[in-house]
Amino acid sequence: MAGTYTYDPGVLTTPLSQVRLIIRDTAQPLTAANAIFSDEELAFFIDNESNIYHAAYYAALAILARAKGLEEKKVGTLTLKWRQFLEGELAEWYRRGLSHQFAEAGALSIADIEVLQDNNDWPNRAIERGMHDHPMTSQLDREENLI
């Protein structure tokens, strides 16, 4: 399979290496013959998911799809029931990925909204008004008849 295949167990700071470690695609030396995914394929999952656990989850789903229902593999007297193992791992990766989500409101994280609210140069938006900041409030304060 064309593509690049990189993994350095001494450098686990990149999302690509982290996902490879999670899905155990870590053969040394990593080559097209022994790798499950190329760097480009894993980059697709990483770029389209919110964190490395969800990228690993969808990469593992792709592995299951490639197996086309294969439940186990027998090599001599050894039997590997890898589908059952992988399905258990899938649930864990998805659950861990959920704990790495960030709360957002209108495509802004809550931390970003707090920063914008503290910035006096940023114009106040309508959602930042208090309950007494209605445009008609000034007339009510002067006890004018609004009817």
* Per-residue model confidence as pLDDT tens for the chain (147 residues): 578 999 988 889 999 999 999 998 998 888 888 898 999 999 999 999 888 988 998 898 888 777 665 666 777 887 766 666 677 777 777 777 777 665 555 556 666 666 666 666 655 555 555 556 655 555 555 555 555
Same domain, 26 and 76: yes
CB-facing half-sphere around the CA of 147: CA atoms within 13 A = 0
Query: What pLDDT is attached to residue 138?
Result: 56
30 found inside a domain? yes
Number of domains in the chain: 2
Residues 63 and 116 in one domain: no
Report yes or no on 69 lying in a domain. yes
85 contacts 60 by C-beta, under 8 angstroms? no
| Reported pTM | 0.57
Domain housing 47: 15-101
Whether residue 76 is found in the same domain as residue 130: no
Quick one: 113 and 66 in the same domain? no
Q: Are residues 53 and 84 in the same domain?
A: yes
